[in-house]
A = this chain, B = another copy of it.
Amino acid sequence: MRNDTIRLLISCPDTRGIIAAVSTFIKDHSGNIVELDQHTDDSSGHFYMRVEVEEQGFSLTSDTFESSWAPLAKRFDMNCQLAWAGRKTRVAVLVSKEGHCLHDLLFRWQAGELAADIPVVISNHMDLAPLAQQAGIEFVHCPIVKGDKAAQEALLEKTLAGMQVDLIVLARYMQVLSADFVARHARKIINIHHSFLPAFVGPKPYHQAFERGVKIIGATSHYVPDQLDQGPIIAQSVCDVGHRDSVQDMIRKGRDLERIVLARAVRLHVSDKILVGGNKTVVFD
């Protein structure tokens, strides 16, 4: 992704003239559109659009955009999200003991695949502290003491606030977050579930898959909603299994799926390529 562009994510009721109005607005402020993608959901009558504009030459700034844009937003009843050029999403990665997803995210981040900052790794265990520290990232231990989850979440919140975190990634974090916590970070928490949702909701999905004798297993990344293991799906991937695959083989194959599917969701989110409508995502990639 280019880092010299402004990204607009727009959703509103569908009607005539939206694209003309938005593209004319940008042209009138000397902007150059380098990417425009839109979608109309016929079943809901909702319109979604992503526009990427070169910062150079654009006559509006983060200070002046809002007031210029307001009449247009009002006219079309738009919900608009704006990401300015160069601004990187700040990501906190939450983990427990399994390191494959964290390992993978850190490598991609170091390789420049993710246009994000990762200021902190947080865990209820100490096992993955070295991994974070080798990457030069602060590791914060938020243990659950005597089952007091409320205290732990308070510490979590304090850490996230202190680090000015925009996105929380649950990279095989094995704790259920409270409904309050999730509500405070709506659409800002991405989880990886190690099954092809909605098959095998709940714990130990690879064991369930083995028992059922499926011929394909999968992994799913999604935004965390109030209910367990539901929420708008961002990405899914699958691979073949057969009668020779034990539960352990499925877990091994599944790790590859989980890594790829979680990384894909994070990349899409930090590139401002996801819009959420109801319980679904519109992914402009």
Contacts and interface: CB of A to CB of B under 8 A. Distances in A.
A236 B241 CA distance: 10
Could you tell me the dominant secondary structure of chain A's interface residues?
mixed
Contacts of A48: 243
A80 interface: no
Interface stretch (A138-146, A154-162, A207-215): A207-215
Contact of A19 (B23, B234, B280): B23
A66 interface: no
A56 to B, nearest CB: 12
A246 interface: yes
Given A17-B27, A199-B199, A236-B215, A38 B36 contact: yes
A27 to B, nearest CB: 4
Contacts of A281: 213, 243
Interface in A1-38: 16-17, 19-20, 23-24, 26-27, 31-38
B214 A216 contact: no
A20 B16 contact: no
Interface in A71-96: none
